[in-house]
Amino acid sequence: MIILTLAAVVAVIEPWILPFPPERVQIQLTNAAPFTTEYLLGGDKFGRDILSELIAGTRDAILASLILTSIAVGLGTAFGLVAGYFGGIIDTVCTWVFGVLIAVPGIILLIALYTLIDISMPVAMAALGVLSSTGIFYLVRSLTRNVRNEPYVDAARVSGLSNLRIVGRHVLLAIRGPIVILAAFLAGGALAVSAGLDFLGLGDSSKASWGSILNDAFGNYYIAPWQLIWPGLTLGLVMASFVILGNAMRDAMEGTYIKPSARARRREVAEALRHAGIREQDREAGGSAPTERSDALLDVSDLRVGYRNGDSLRSVIRGVSFQVRTGEVLGLVGESGSGKTQTVFSALGLLPESAIVIGGSIRLDGHELLGRSERELSRFRGAQMAYVPQEPMSNLDPSFRVGPQIVEGIRVQTDLGRREATSLALDMLEKVGIRDPRRTFRSYPHEISGGMAQRVLIAAAIACKPKLLIADEPTTALDVTVQAEVLDLLRDLQQEFRMGVLIVTHNLGVVADLCDRVIVMREGEIVETGDVGDVLKRPSHEYTKTLLDSLLDEAEPKTESPSREESARV
């Protein structure tokens, strides 16, 4: 950093610190040895001061590096983010364009331009920056595709954040480390390219540059070989400093989809349905079915979801229908793979791109959710329906402190300013039982426990007082003691805010403790539904009986405590 700062300062104040004009010639100091005359680093073969030439060439060297790096990183990062996050036709077009650019031989093109039209250095570096952006593009695109389906990105979508904010704040900051590394290599490489062009005599011969100094020293090698040391050492130190600083910045930082166009998406869905033998009008008919209950907060009717598997369509949700009323806690129970989470993700609009809603309807407070765009769904997420995920640590962005992540969602869904949103976030953290809200607010996710992280997510979910809270296995990742605390917290909050709550779980103990009604799912279908007491005490379906029989809590309770000797033996 010291070396790069020194180079930048020299580039700015160069006219005021030159010992001699760089073009000044003193014949008596030709090939003068360093530290023996008024020329501190010695004289070149023409009698010019090498130190003055190095200082005079610093500005163009730094400028060349800045131009190439900023254009390459700016173009590559912007288009890589767009292509990787949105996918579809946007990804196809961007990949094709950068595929063409990567096939262009950059150095040969620059030599040709210098020879034919005598372009200036800034223009040459800008052109090379465009060609160098391909490496950044493919890196950012690949990293973005890996990050866009991370739970904390889904959590940002559920909070109602726009795609632009998600890409710029959550995705970009998650992948910034490798970008910084590559940018550092590009900055050093730009110095080498600029000096190389001047070394070949393609630059402005009337101006001193590090490459021209190197060329003069190379031609004078047999007379004064030490002249190669100064330009070589300067280039080497600055280039190495870029790379070392880039690595250090990456290490410090790592302490830590628009979907395809509507027309393309409809074409893909129609093709998959045709192969599956499902008529489009049949699919649309399910989505327009009227609600059966006017008091249903969430009304899921005949929901059918499938996944494309080559030319076939594999159905994972088959005609699921249920309602959640205001102030009611409904449990959705089933083993892994029964379709619980797919049902919930259908309501939240978080199904993966390969999923197809074959038919049905999902209404929230009378508003149809299926078929809505991301922008339309963002009006419902956070403010009217909130989500508490299964893995608390995976749903908090590791790049940010806990507090700003809560504040961000609040400000998106309300008109509150930053100070008011911060105050509300602290109040919510206190409400969910966090003893020191301010300390937790300032902490990074890795600095808090799993139970505390779950409380943070619950605080974020209820901050805007949603009508419906969807909790997907909210206690699975926690130990039994913390599980009980979280269940008590959810019960208290549900009663205080009179929310409708949909809890997805495989734990019948959670259902018995918290829910009013229960739905049992198996292989994408509902096999039994009813009040909790009726279903758990008098199950009618064999699958429900099997789930109940698998519980390990039917042993007779002990009537007296074991002796100390018995406890020691155990």
Please check whether the domain covering 2-253 is classified as CATH 1.10.3720.10: yes
Contact present, 58 and 191 (Cβ < 8 Å): no
pLDDT at 260: 46
Sole residue written with tokens 């208290």: 492
For every residue of 497-541, DSSP letters joined together read HT-EEEEEES-HHHHHHH-SEEEEEETTEEEEEEEHHHHHHS--S
Mean pLDDT by 10 residues, the chain (570 residues): 92 90 88 87 88 90 91 93 90 91 79 72 85 90 87 80 85 86 89 84 77 87 89 92 86 52 58 58 44 70 84 83 90 86 88 83 90 82 84 81 89 86 91 88 88 87 88 74 77 85 85 88 90 88 83 46 42
Q: Which residue type is seen at 32?
A: A
Domain boundaries, the chain: 2-253, 262-377, 385-515
- Joined tokens for residue 369: 């959710």
pLDDT at 563: 45
262-377 is classed in which CATH architecture? 3-Layer(aba) Sandwich (3.40)
Contact present, 464 and 387 (Cβ < 8 Å): no
Contact present, 411 and 165 (Cβ < 8 Å): no
pLDDT at 272: 61
pLDDT at 274: 61
Q: CB-hemisphere CA count at 13 Å for 240?
A: 8
| Fold match flag (2-253 vs 385-515) | no
Contact present, 8 and 63 (Cβ < 8 Å): no
The pTM is what?
Answer: 0.56
d(CA 315, CA 281) in angstroms, rounded, equals 18
For every residue of 44-91, DSSP letters joined together read -TTS-BHHHHHHHHHHHHHHHHHHHHHHHHHHHHHHHHHHHHH-HHHH
* Exposed / middle / buried, residue 556 (Cβ in 10 Å: 0-12, 13-18, 19+): exposed
CATH of range 385-515; options 3.40.640.10, 3.55.40.20, 1.10.3720.10, 3.40.50.300? 3.40.50.300
Q: What sign has the CA pseudo-torsion 392, 395, 400, 403?
A: negative
